[in-house]
Structure 1
Amino acid sequence: MTELSFKGKEFVYNHHLAVPFRPLIPQEAKGIGAPSMDGNLIIHGDNLHALKSLLPMYAGKVDCVFIDPPYNTGNEGWSYNDNVNAPMIKEWLNANPVGVEDGLRHDKWCAMMWPRLRLLHELLSETGSFWMTLDDNEIHRGRALLDEVFGEGKFIACCIWQKRYSRENREAIGDIHDYVLVYSKSPDAFKALRNKVDPTEDQLKIYKNPNNDPLGRWRGIPMTAQGYRPNQMYPIRTPGGAVHTPPEGRCWSMIEREYKVLLAKGRIWFGADQMGQPNVIRYVDEVEGFVPWTWWPSDEVGHTDESKKEMHAYFGREDAFDTPKPFRLLRRIVQIATDKDALVLDSFAGSGTTAHAVLEANKRDGGNRRFILVEMEDYADRLTAERVRRVIRGYDFTGTQRTELLRERLTWRGLTNAGDLVHKVEGIENLETGRFDRIKKEVKGGELIVTGETRVQERAEGLGGTFTYCTLGDPVELDKVLTGETLPPFDAIGAALFHMATNEALDPSGLSEVAFYLGETDALHVWLIYRPDLEWLKSAEAALTLARAKAFAEAKPGKRHLVFAPARFVSQKMLNERHIPVEFVPLPFALYKIERD
């Protein structure tokens, strides 16, 4: 496989392993509802450290990752701040922010993204999907990075999102689109689980009604199949008198008895002249959604102007956030990528659109989806979390409500009958003027759009829900535990050790600080003899003894037992001789050893 080379790659390749675990510290006053670490989360802190902190509880459990990282345009003012232990990388810290004149800005972007992508990959479930928005500045490097992290065969699609509906005249060729890269650890599993979406206008164009069928629009499906089946080779006589047999190398797609049932129901179409090949009528109402396309026009998923107006509605000013993503874009992704119980992670949360889309999806179908947002900037509370608070509780809205009254594609035939079109618009104006403050008429993208606008001042209804707001605590550094320099709580150090020992997420419901028990996997039980008390840790009570090893093995029989402890008073040889399936791991060096061996 072709690999992407960039300056600093050798220094950041395994940097995600050296990032310390940090406990998540709930800030109850900033959330909604009782703090819950297994519910919706908004985390304020460096997303590299936040992702590492999520591993103990969420490794392999995230169903949908969506990220909107810096596009690296040279005008964003983002900074490279990762504490990589290499002189060249440390020099980068003195050259922040990363600007358009920085000759290494693409290398820095790759170095910044690499460890985050590695951790996101570890958090993603085997059937989950990964979605990342980019533009032409880094799309090619972004795909190369993802090919390395996921594997080339894990690529699903590159969707084209039309971010602008008006013409861009500042460049030689107007830039009106961005990209959404989609990957999955298991493309076949994702394909089996993926959700179909409501049909777009372009997809609906193939459904017509040439015979004025009272059941509505339909399309004809050719009634042939590949191969030869003797009972599907009968002649068909059309109402117009023509006789058809299957084309060479093909047969009819059903036996004659099934064909006659559909014919009697009026579900076979022979063309307007009643002489053509048979087609099975399939009504648009019978289609349970459509497979999503890679082309996402702005009239379906929103555009940048729309997203800025959305922020204006929440905060009363359009400059609340520079580059928000439209709600409809995230709604489309959530619709495709999640079921009703999915967990969605956004580690470049920005304005919080992902949480809004998750909450709206739950409101719409009664689901129980959860979100985890991570935002490192200082607006995490006043903007990211505040938007989510307002979406949950409702908010005062002052602005313009718009109702689309007519949308008609302009064609040459329509223009030759322009008088009819003007008459139709005038009829709408006469009928609807009393309902709206203004009837707006405009032409966009080859379509005539008539919209009714009303100035309103009201309160938007909240979607409901809760979330816990967290910050990152001090690093869990086990080599400093016995010196007393750091004494993390039992659940924080335990979650880190469990994940590093098993590469699985800890289920907090099974944890028992009193019994020193962390949890189990298919192969073993994991224990931690620990209290955040330096004197106790130095005492004999904190050691693994023969009696304690036997008690652990008897309390949960049938599997091996891994015990983390500051010391032991029983040898591994004695445990093996007595057939006690317990293995001791010295606590101060446990994390270092397991993580790097």
Structure 2
Amino acid sequence: MDDLNLRMEVAQPADVEISSPPTFPRLSTVKKFSCGPTGTGNFLVHGENHDVLKSMGRWMEGRVKCAYLDPPYRTGERFTHYDDDAKHEDWLHDVTTRVRKVWELLAEDGSIWISIDDHEVHYLKVALDRVVGRQSFVTTVVWQQRTTRENRKVFSNNHEYVLVYAKSPRKFAQSRNGLALTEDIRGRYVNHDDDPRGPWQSVSANVQAGHAVASQFYTITAPNGRKHVPPNGRCWAYNKSKMDLEIAQGNVWFGRDGNGVPRIKKFLGSGGKGVTPETLWPASEVGTNDHAKKHIHAMFPGDPLFDTPKPEALIWRVLHVASNPGDLVLDPYLGSGTTAAVAMKTGRRFVGIESGEHAATIAAARLRQVVDGEGGGISTEVDWQGGGGFEFLRFR
């Protein structure tokens, strides 16, 4: 982040507004709630998200690398900061309308991640397939959002979902980041043959033959002369010329005695973009709603809590997989400000939009603490020391 030694302004004298940039019609800057230097590219916007998206659309178009949406789930409940009792058709129209607008702003390799639960996930999936195309669907992540058992209900519902869509799934696949190696995965790498390139693990050299071409069917001759043919229904992962090259370069393992079935060596240092993310995200890795509540309570002791906030670790995984430092992140349902806080701590730029008064009283106040070096959430993991800033805008 820029200017890591920057300290936030503890007090500002008045709610003074200055004209917004010409690209943001009907938006004005509120200096009282802004923090840090101007020009950071970070915006916290108080207003109805559809209006704000139209106002800022020309500036954001084609630049949003990752959009995270956490809309109301339509549970029928009334929460501290909003009511979640909209009619189904109204709710579905509102959410898909906003997704359609966000979709227009995505970069070519950009993606949308939408949190939802059992109440509407299946209806929303079908509606989104129609809005942005079934071919744009990437996956459904299952998040373990609680670890305690709910004994008052027929089933203890301990998970939620995150629907993932990409503007171009092919480009997203090329640009998305993997996860760091865990100690368990690192333990699988062993140097059985004292290879100077270091520890490695082996993977099968044969694959399913369903989409194979003729050049993948042949006999491999091991260095000791032993012949190997692929099992029935299988073929070799490479054509013969490439396999011969891999063998010559010491990248194929035939077992300690040289008579084993050929397997391809994968070295610890050749992980590329990291471990492929799985679709099951346990609480032990990305936290729970309860973790998030405790974090917010520590920042705002005594204030009314958000009932279902998202933990920073969950949003950090989303942003890590879908973006890189310097990229623009969009959250049109900002809530308590988690996405913006994680974006700041990890070097992303952000636009966060919130219609409630807590845009100023909680989200902006939280981000001022982040600028000042707030130490909760993922701060220790990413070595956050404070810095940066944001501009608070209000829609008129």
TM-score w.r.t. length of structure 2: 0.79
Mapping of residues 96-115 of structure 1, within 5 Å: 99=85, 105-115=87-97
Cα separation, 2, equivalents of 1:258 and 1:115: 51
Structure 1 residue corresponding to 2:155, chosen from 170, 173, 195 = 173
Cα separation, 2, equivalents of 1:231 and 1:183: 37
Structure 1 residue corresponding to 2:294, chosen from 292, 303, 309 = 309
Structure 2 residue corresponding to 1:337, chosen from 322, 344, 360 = 322
Give unpaired runs (5+ residues) of structure 1: 1-20, 81-96, 363-368, 404-459, 474-597
User: For residue 36 of structure 2, what is the aligned residue in structure 1?
Assistant: 33
Asked if structure 2 preserves the Cα contact closer than 8 Å seen for 1:228 and 1:250, the reply is no
Asked if 1:142 corresponds to 2:103, the answer is no
1:270–1:308: structure 2 CA closer, same or farther, 3 Å change rule? same
Cα separation, 2, equivalents of 1:402 and 1:61: 29
Asked if structure 2 preserves the Cα contact closer than 8 Å seen for 1:244 and 1:277, the reply is no
Identity of aligned residues (%): 34
1:213–1:109: structure 2 CA closer, same or farther, 3 Å change rule? farther
What amino acid is the match of 2:52?
A
Asked if 1:187 corresponds to 2:166, the answer is no
Mapping of residues 38-77 of structure 1, within 5 Å: 39-76=41-78
Kindly state the Cα deviation for residue 341 of structure 1 after the two structures are TM-superposed: 2.8
Q: What SS does structure 1 have at the residue aligned with 2:346?
A: helix
Cα separation, 2, equivalents of 1:117 and 1:275: 56
Q: What SS does structure 2 have at the residue aligned with 1:160?
A: strand
Kindly state the Cα deviation for residue 187 of structure 1 after the two structures are TM-superposed: 1.7
Structure 1 residue corresponding to 2:143, chosen from 147, 154, 161 = 161
Cα separation, 2, equivalents of 1:396 and 1:340: 20
> Of Structure 1 and Structure 2, which has the larger fraction of its residues in helix?
1
Asked if structure 2 preserves the Cα contact closer than 8 Å seen for 1:227 and 1:251, the reply is no
User: For residue 244 of structure 1, what is the aligned residue in structure 2?
Assistant: 227
Cα separation, 2, equivalents of 1:471 and 1:190: 33
Aligned length: 360
164-173 or 245-254, which deviates more: 245-254
User: For residue 19 of structure 2, what is the aligned residue in structure 1?
Assistant: none
Asked if 1:472 corresponds to 2:389, the answer is no
Asked if structure 1 preserves the Cα contact closer than 8 Å seen for 2:136 and 2:165, the reply is yes
Kindly state the Cα deviation for residue 468 of structure 1 after the two structures are TM-superposed: 0.4
Asked if structure 2 preserves the Cα contact closer than 8 Å seen for 1:224 and 1:246, the reply is no
State the Cα deviation string for residues 436-476 of structure 1 (Å, max 9, x = none).
Answer: xxxxxxxxxxxxxxxxxxxxxxxx96431110001112xxx
Cα separation, 2, equivalents of 1:390 and 1:79: 21
Kindly state the Cα deviation for residue 49 of structure 1 after the two structures are TM-superposed: 1.6
Cα separation, 1, equivalents of 2:216 and 2:389: 62
Cα separation, 1, equivalents of 2:64 and 2:276: 23
Kindly state the Cα deviation for residue 275 of structure 1 after the two structures are TM-superposed: 3.8
State the Cα deviation string for residues 502-550 of structure 1 (Å, max 9, x = none).
Answer: xxxxxxxxxxxxxxxxxxxxxxxxxxxxxxxxxxxxxxxxxxxxxxxxx
TM-score w.r.t. length of structure 1: 0.54
Kindly state the Cα deviation for residue 29 of structure 1 after the two structures are TM-superposed: 2.2
User: For residue 356 of structure 2, what is the aligned residue in structure 1?
Assistant: 377
Structure 1 residue corresponding to 2:366, chosen from 358, 364, 387 = 387
User: For residue 341 of structure 2, what is the aligned residue in structure 1?
Assistant: 356
Structure 2 residue corresponding to 1:290, chosen from 251, 275, 297 = 275
Kindly state the Cα deviation for residue 146 of structure 1 after the two structures are TM-superposed: 1.3
User: For residue 3 of structure 2, what is the aligned residue in structure 1?
Assistant: none
Cα separation, 1, equivalents of 2:359 and 2:235: 62
Q: What SS does structure 2 have at the residue aligned with 1:321?
A: coil
Asked if structure 1 preserves the Cα contact closer than 8 Å seen for 2:177 and 2:320, the reply is yes
1:179–1:255: structure 2 CA closer, same or farther, 3 Å change rule? closer
Asked if structure 1 preserves the Cα contact closer than 8 Å seen for 2:336 and 2:362, the reply is yes
Cα separation, 1, equivalents of 2:80 and 2:307: 13
Give unpaired runs (5+ residues) of structure 2: 1-23
Kindly state the Cα deviation for residue 229 of structure 1 after the two structures are TM-superposed: 5.3
Give 1 or 2 for the bigger CA radius of gyration. Answer: 1
1:106–1:251: structure 2 CA closer, same or farther, 3 Å change rule? closer
Asked if structure 2 preserves the Cα contact closer than 8 Å seen for 1:131 and 1:183, the reply is yes
1:235–1:58: structure 2 CA closer, same or farther, 3 Å change rule? closer
Asked if structure 2 preserves the Cα contact closer than 8 Å seen for 1:308 and 1:318, the reply is no
1:250–1:124: structure 2 CA closer, same or farther, 3 Å change rule? closer
State the Cα deviation string for residues 163-187 of structure 1 (Å, max 9, x = none).
Answer: 1123333333321110001112222
User: For residue 278 of structure 1, what is the aligned residue in structure 2?
Assistant: 262
Q: Which protein, 1 or 2, shows the higher relative CO under an 8 Å CA cutoff with sep ≥ 6?
A: 2
Q: What SS does structure 2 have at the residue aligned with 1:130?
A: strand
Q: What SS does structure 2 have at the residue aligned with 1:329?
A: helix
